[in-house]
Amino acid sequence: MMRGLHCLVLTCALSLAVAPAFASKTAAGKSHGTPDKAAQARDKAQLAFQRDLVSVLAPGGDPLRLLGAALLARPLFNQTPSNSFHRLIERATQAEGAGAAAYWMQLADCDANADACPNGEALQHLLGQAPDNAAVWLLKLGADARSMKQDAAREDLAKAAAAKLYDDYAGTSLQALATSVGVLPPPADTLDPAHPGGAVGMQTVLVYGLAGTQPQPSLQLIAKLCENAGQDASIKADCLALGKTLEWGSSPLARSLGLHLRELLADDPAQQQEAKAARRNLVWQVQSFTQLLARAPDDAALAQRLLALARSGGTEMSLQLAALRDNGIPAEAPADWQPRKTE
């Protein structure tokens, strides 16, 4: 059963990786697999544009604007201290009206090499601010499991199972980026003449690429824990309750795990079959949305619609379904459709 989950997790991850942020983008040359001079110049211009966006957004105290600036700054090297991800996300959490999304992104303000992730202060704040969010308790479960705190991890699972929702705040990050990216027009040297989507196509790549770097709980750890429940009726019950919440979660990854848990743990064969069919439709939805995103650099009208959806807020899952609906793509897979194989 885990093999199927791994495949779906990889498929869902495509939706996060299809539009890389400028700071990590590479352009292959025609012969040696290295960026050609034009691509190198364009990448340099795009990075400069991203720095300029941060500089324009950084002043002021609007929490959504500061979140957008922090997300834009996160992949950039050698930022001035005042325009660094660390300082901007700190200011976003301190701004009047700041929500849990800023603290969620602050989870990434940590030193992975020192085994200091996620950011402990941000996690503690989220536990107090968003106790009804299963995603927060799953993050704590991961941290407690790494620290070999088995009793605490079991309690975390119970808290996650009792939570009312699952939200990783990717929708808010998309909204922050989509409302921020238009504060400056992209210079001509940032645009690839081979992609007719122009400025709006480039902005869409930037927005969806950066929003795809949200902190995430280790959902595979949760899957393993629940699969190994054995004859422990209380763990099975908590995993089934958590699965129901995940099925209505904010991200395709959360929904995939929720459906997997129902398919694995439900006593009713009809419920198992229904979950399996829903997972197939989920793969269809994710792959269809991935294909839409891949067209954005070449289709200005489509890119504009995707940016408008991001600005409207919601969750990553609701945004993807809205994008499919707006483009006449059904949410249910055709009867003869088969998912692409993943290694």
**300 and 168 Cβ atoms separated by less than 8 Å:** no
Least Cα distance to 67 among 167, 185, 166, 207 occurs for 207
What is the full DSSP assignment across 107-172? TTSS-GGGT--S-HHHHHHHHHH-TTBHHHHHHHHHHHHHTT-HHHHHHHHHHHHH-SB----HHH
Least Cα distance to 325 among 335, 339, 314, 336 occurs for 314
Average pLDDT, the chain: 88
Prediction pTM value: 0.87
Q: Over the stretch 254-266, which tens digit does the pLDDT of each residue have?
A: 999 999 999 999 9
Q: Give residue 260's pLDDT.
A: 95
Distances (CA, A) of 107 to 143, 255, 264: 12, 22, 31
Q: Give residue 172's pLDDT.
A: 96
Least confident among 84-88, 162-166, 221-225, 240-244: 221-225
In this predicted structure, the answer to whether residue 246 has a pLDDT above a threshold of 60 is yes
Q: Over the stretch 174-229, which tens digit does the pLDDT of each residue have?
A: 999 999 999 999 999 999 999 999 999 999 999 999 998 889 998 999 999 999 88
Q: Which amino acid is at 224?
A: K
Residue burial 45-77, b: 16+ Cβ < 10 Å; e: rest? bbbebbbebbbebbeeebbbbbbbbbbbbbbbe
Distance of CA 28 to the CA centre of its chain: 26
Cis peptide before 118 (omega within 30 of 0): yes
In this predicted structure, the answer to whether residue 11 has a pLDDT above a threshold of 80 is no
Q: Which amino acid is at 339?
A: P
